[in-house]
């Protein structure tokens, strides 16, 4: 038995101080169609302290200040809870962050991306915490926003795929009319000529780097005796169906590996302009999920003997969605079935990337109006900021 000397032991006062020193960070937002830009803000906020509380606004608050969200608050709460850097979620958080809110949850400061968020009447939602010196900024992730994802869905483009396929892209843009009817023009022009007036909302391209992948990764190896679970899929526009599925799959073992299919493979079996998010983007969304231990980037569609042996897979799991045959018509799960290592689980939700797309299309006009309003508000604020800069330099 090892005995600690008095000098090595923390006194009750030291322990108390240590407890007090825990830095508690507050982040809030709408987190609609939660994407890796949101996850990256949450990751950076967690790095600024020890304990991270995320306040998520209710549907009523979002509708009042921004426009109706695509996901319900119950869905958004669950999605944020599953992000691995989140310690606690506060439901129905107020849109304007007050000092009372920070005090109530014992938070030292609030973190937000380096863009501007305003209430319906144009007030900075963080003016109170900024004034009190309890506001810190993290870097907003360029090239991903709900606006952009909605644009990709409505326009049926494939330029976000990691393949050179311009001819097919032209054809799919030609087919837009069939899906979105006459309301496409403003989104179309938005995509072709991104607004220069607001530097935050709008369309730009996300570029993944090895640094970002490392920041999102667990970097853990399975431990001796761990039961290894393998699942594979597109995991496009990571949604509640994926989350509930991964939660169930995670319960089947100790170390969950997700095989992500390439854009070409996903496009072969899902058709149209799927995947909406390219492999790099899908990778970050899956890595941000607390149930995932490791990801195979560009996994083969068929779960082969090589793959199972290499990763020492104990069980392969699939949800209730139909499994498409491999390119040669064979069963992609023949190997795990032969080894009696295949199981299906029921995620309990029938939400898919396609039903999400349908939801968005149904809200298309409200969406366009909401984004136009958001960009116009941001442009005004940006202009005022620029004018102030010029004035101060002079």
Instruction: State the first-to-last Cα distance of the chain, in angstroms, to the nearest integer.
Output: 71
- Which stretch in 112-120, 174-182, 314-322, 341-349 sits in contact with ligand CTP by CB under 6 A? 112-120
**H or E element that contains 111:** strand 109-113
CB burial string 262-279: b at 16+ within 10 A, e below: bbebbbebbeebbbbbbb
Q: Please, what is the minimum distance in Å from the beta carbon of residue 216 to ligand C5P?
A: 19
Residue 70 and residue 33 in contact, taking contact as beta carbons nearer than 8 Å: yes
Q: Which CB atom, from 121 or from 350, has the smaller least distance to ligand C5P?
A: 350
Q: Please, what is the minimum distance in Å from the beta carbon of residue 274 to ligand C5P?
A: 9
Which of 58, 201, 278, 293 contacts ligand CTP by CB under 6 A? 201
Q: Which CB atom, from 30 or from 249, has the smaller least distance to ligand C5P?
A: 249
Q: Which CB atom, from 24 or from 248, has the smaller least distance to ligand CTP?
A: 24
SS3 258: strand
For 162, residues 6+ apart whose C-beta sits below 8 A from its C-beta are 262, 263, 278, 279, 280
- Fill in the DSSP letter of residue 181: G
Q: Which CB atom, from 143 or from 222, has the smaller least distance to ligand CTP?
A: 143
Q: Of ligand C5P, ligand CTP, none, which one sits near residue 235, judging by CB under 5 to 8 A according to partner kind?
A: ligand C5P
Within positions 203 to 262, which residues make up the interface with ligand C5P, using CB under 6 A? 231, 233-236, 241-242, 245
Interaction pattern, residues 28-57, with ligand CTP; x per rule: CB under 6 A: -xxxx----xx-xx----------------
Q: Which CB atom, from 41 or from 302, has the smaller least distance to ligand C5P?
A: 302
Q: How many CB atoms lie under 10 A from the CB of residue 161? A: 22
Within positions 315 to 374, which residues make up the interface with ligand C5P, using CB under 6 A? 318-321, 347, 349-352
CA 184/CA 167 separation, integer angstroms: 21
Beta bridge partners of 26: 53, 110
Structure tokens belonging to residue 362:
């149904």
Task: Tell me which residues touch ligand CTP (CB under 6 A).
Answer: 29-32, 37-38, 40-41, 112-113, 115, 140-141, 144-147, 201
């Amino acid at each position: 038995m090892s005995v600690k000397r008095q000098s090595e032991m923390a006194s009750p006062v030291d322990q108390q101080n240590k407890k007090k020193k825990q830095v508690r960070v507050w982040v809030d937002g709408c987190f609609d169609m939660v994407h890796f830009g949101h996850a990256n803000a949450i990751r950076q906020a967690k790095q600024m302290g020890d304990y991270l509380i995320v306040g998520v606004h209710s549907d009523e608050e979002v509708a009042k200040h921004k426009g109706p969200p695509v996901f319900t608050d119950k869905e958004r709460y669950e999605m944020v809870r599953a992000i691995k850097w989140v310690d606690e979620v506060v439901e129905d958080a107020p849109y304007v962050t007050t000092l009372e809110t920070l005090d109530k949850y014992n938070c030292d400061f609030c973190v937000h991306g380096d863009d501007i968020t305003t209430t319906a009447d144009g007030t900075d939602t963080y003016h109170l915490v900024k004034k009190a010196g309890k506001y810190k900024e993290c870097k907003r992730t360029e090239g991903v926003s709900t606006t952009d994802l909605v644009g990709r869905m409505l326009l049926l483009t494939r330029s976000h795929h990691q393949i050179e396929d311009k001819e097919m892209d032209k054809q799919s843009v030609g087919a837009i009319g069939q899906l979105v009817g006459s309301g496409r023009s403003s989104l179309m022009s938005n995509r072709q000529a991104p607004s220069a007036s607001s530097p935050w909302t709008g369309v730009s391209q996300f570029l993944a780097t090895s640094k970002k992948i490392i920041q999102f990764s667990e970097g853990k190896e399975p431990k001796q005796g761990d039961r290894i679970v393998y699942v594979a899929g597109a995991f496009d526009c990571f949604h509640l169906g994926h989350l509930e599925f991964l939660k169930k799959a995670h319960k089947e073992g100790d170390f969950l590996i997700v095989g992500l299919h390439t854009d070409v493979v996903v496009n072969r079996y899902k058709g149209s302009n799927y995947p909406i998010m390219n492999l790099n983007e899908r990778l970050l969304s899956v890595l941000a999920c607390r149930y995932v231990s490791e990801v195979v980037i560009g996994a083969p569609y068929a779960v082969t003997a090589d793959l199972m042996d290499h990763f020492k897979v104990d069980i392969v799991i699939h949800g209730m969605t139909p499994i498409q045959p491999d390119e040669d018509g064979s069963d992609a799960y023949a190997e795990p079935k032969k080894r009696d290592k295949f199981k299906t689980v029921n995620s309990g939700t029938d939400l898919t990337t396609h039903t999400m797309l349908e939801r968005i299309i149904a809200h298309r006009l409200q969406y366009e109006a909401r984004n136009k309003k958001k960009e116009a508000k941001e442009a005004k604020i940006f202009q005022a900021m620029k004018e102030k800069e010029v004035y101060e330099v002079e």
